[in-house]
Structure 1
Amino acid sequence: MKKLLFILLLATVFNCAPKKDIYLFTSFREPATEGLYLAYSEDGYHWEDLKGPYLNPEAGDSKIMRDPSIVRGKDDTYHMVWTTDWKGGNGFGYASSKDLIHWSEQQYIPVMKHEPTVVNVWAPEIFYDDEQDQYIIIWASTIPYRFEKGIEAEDNNHRMYYVTTKDFKTFSDTKLFLDPGFSVIDCVIVKKGKDDYALIIKDNTRPRRDIEVGFGTSPIGPFTNITEPFSGHLSEGPTVLKLKNDWLIYYDNYGEKNYKAVKTSDFKMFEDVSEEISLPEGHKHGTITTISQKVLNGLIEEKNKK
């Protein structure tokens, strides 16, 4: 009888133990016409290929998918946005899913339709603001002759913009998110603590094109005290995951055609851990979220069909 009770107790403890989430990394493959690719990791360093595509791009004139950014909503719905046009578009793509296999109808969100001379809408990035219970979407756009510039051309002088939404059906008016006085793209908001945020920034000026960090007390800024770059020349597409007391920042080291990562506890000191990571061949600019074991099992089953 005691043995049976002990077994029942172990079963109860096991079933009640918190289930560990798994990291999921979104990606695409050049020339970006196929759609969404995925990889997963249990430790945040070593990534297993889930192949793809899981969503073929239909939004936008060019029918491409670059820079897929995904966030896990509080109802376990995954919301994703992506770049739909290299140049010429005034918006980005959006779709949602519960299992990352079956997706909602794709939408095109024309966030810059009020700017007739806008050149592009690049790398939209979703951040869930738990303080205001809303989603913030940021992206880079160029509006020629709007801002001071360096030696880059007028059609390559980017600033960051944003909208907010609670339901991905209605959106706030578009506002300027970041103008640090130079061309910027590929920004990522990170919540370090209450009223404590970091912004990962790609300085897109010539000859820089590297990645830095700014700091603020709100997810919509202002972000100041921008650091010196922690990455090398020709790097972009950062994304961040939290591991215990540290953060890992992955980025596309496109100048050398590989991926790199740094580890930091304060976004001021960075340790290169590129030798410790592994990613699927061809992996490109995406973002990291978490999934349950159930969702992963479904993705592995789907992968085996491909």
Structure 2
Amino acid sequence: MTFLMALSITSCTTKSAYLFTSFHEPANEGLRMLYSYDACHWTDMNHIFLKPEAGNPKIMRDPSMVQGPDGTFRLVWTTGWKGEQGFGYASSKDLVNWSPQQHINIMTTEPTTVNVWAPEIFYDDEAKQYIIVWASTVPFRFPKGQEDENNNHRLYYTTTTDFKTFAPAKLFLDPGFSVIDAQILKRGHEDYVLVMKDNTRPNRNILVAFGTNPLGPYSNYSKRFTEPFSEGPNAVKAGKNWLIYYDSYRLKKYGAMQTTDFKTFKDVSNQVIIPEGHKHGTILKVSRKTLDQLRKSIGQ
């Protein structure tokens, strides 16, 4: 290892533990998790923590998880490629014992909805509510450009405080192109970044936009900063840097971009370790005690 590489990796070392939610294709097994102590080097726990039961296809893709202020972990996921008008949901206090799974049929008010993809959960600590953002295609609703009418996505959202009642689905973002895989990041008070995938042909890569409220509006779109055929961006703050992980699915590898300001991006893919077979989820910080107890529960 060169000194420069070692220095770069050390710069993202923290005392926190991290979990990276995951799944393996063909997505019928359920929730997997990776862990890391520095947000750079990841280890697969090689365990199924939750088998999918929600929705008709009984699959789990794009698992997104957040720990709320009450300590409860909230998990949402994609339940099907097409024909599903909702997302899966379950909660846990310890990541070992889970609530009964639910299918939140959030897009039934739009009966022609083709899909509900990659729900991403964010806790808004200022409004004291959870925001769930996903991508759906509602045919003939938006100009489609080069996209097929059934693949012309826009972002929608709902909010909830208790996961018993959900606000009606509303349009979250129409950037003028097909967009999926969105993640809300909070940098400071009234300072938010939206990381997303431009799903249009021939782009299919990652960009960001900026806002003063987690619900938008978002503007000042960046250039696309990953190679084509990139998706599933998920970012984590590690030291002074943000790391944006993404699935470079055509190259069959995981990539990572490093940034401090979301204006300039450095490719650090060769400095991170992602286990083979990992498919995109989200990263969250947890206490080392939580991670140790989780590993102990599966005999590690």
Q: TM-score normalized by structure 1?
A: 0.92
Indicate the SS of the match to 2:172. Answer: strand
Q: Which of residues 260, 268, 271 in structure 2 aligns to 1:265?
A: 260
Q: Distance in 2 between matches of 1:182 and 1:293?
A: 41
Indicate the SS of the match to 1:32. Answer: coil
The equivalent of 2:192 in structure 1 is: 197
1:241-263: CA deviations, max 9, x gaps?
Answer: 11122211000111101101011
Q: Distance in 2 between matches of 1:282 and 1:72?
A: 25
Q: Which of residues 158, 168, 176 in structure 2 aligns to 1:173?
A: 168
Amino acid aligned to 2:156: Y
1:100 and 2:102 aligned: no
1:114 and 2:112 aligned: no
Q: Is the 8 A contact 2:16 2:38 kept in 1?
A: no
Q: Distance in 1 between matches of 2:108 and 2:274?
A: 37
Q: Distance in 1 between matches of 2:50 and 2:293?
A: 15
In the TM superposition, residue 50 of structure 1 has moved relative to its aligned partner by 1.0
1:51 and 2:46 aligned: yes
Amino acid aligned to 1:121: V
Stretches of structure 2 lacking an aligned partner (at least 5 in a row): 1-13
1:254 and 2:229 aligned: no
Runs (4+) of structure 1 exceeding 4 A deviation are none
Q: Distance in 1 between matches of 2:16 and 2:94?
A: 14
Stretches of structure 1 lacking an aligned partner (at least 5 in a row): 1-18
Corresponding residue pairs, total: 287
Q: Is the 8 A contact 1:50 1:299 kept in 2?
A: no
RMSD (CA atoms): 1.2
Q: Which of residues 286, 292, 300 in structure 1 aligns to 2:295?
A: 300
Q: Kindly report which structure 2 residues correspond to 1:67-78, keeping only aligned pairs within 5 A, or say none.
A: 67-78=62-73
Amino acid aligned to 1:144: P
Indicate the SS of the match to 1:24. Answer: strand
In the TM superposition, residue 51 of structure 1 has moved relative to its aligned partner by 1.4
Q: Distance in 2 between matches of 1:303 and 1:102?
A: 12
Amino acid aligned to 1:45: C
Q: Distance in 2 between matches of 1:249 and 1:116?
A: 35
Indicate the SS of the match to 1:163. Answer: strand
Q: Is the 8 A contact 1:20 1:292 kept in 2?
A: no
Indicate the SS of the match to 1:199. Answer: strand
1:207 and 2:199 aligned: no
In the TM superposition, residue 277 of structure 1 has moved relative to its aligned partner by 0.4
Amino acid aligned to 2:127: Q
Indicate the SS of the match to 2:183. Answer: strand
Identity %: 60
Q: Is the 8 A contact 2:15 2:38 kept in 1?
A: no
Q: Distance in 2 between matches of 1:52 and 1:195?
A: 39
Q: Distance in 2 between matches of 1:25 and 1:140?
A: 21
Q: Is the 8 A contact 1:142 1:158 kept in 2?
A: yes
In the TM superposition, residue 48 of structure 1 has moved relative to its aligned partner by 1.2
Q: Distance in 2 between matches of 1:303 and 1:227?
A: 42
The equivalent of 2:11 in structure 1 is: none
Q: Distance in 2 between matches of 1:273 and 1:60?
A: 37
Q: Kindly report which structure 2 residues correspond to 1:1-306, keeping only aligned pairs within 5 A, or say none.
A: 20-304=15-299
Q: Is the 8 A contact 1:94 1:107 kept in 2?
A: yes
1:21-73: CA deviations, max 9, x gaps?
Answer: 31000000100000000011001100111112100000000000000000011
Q: Distance in 1 between matches of 2:93 and 2:271?
A: 32
Q: Distance in 1 between matches of 2:195 and 2:287?
A: 27
Q: TM-score normalized by structure 2?
A: 0.94
Bigger mean CA deviation after superposition, 188-197 or 57-66: 188-197
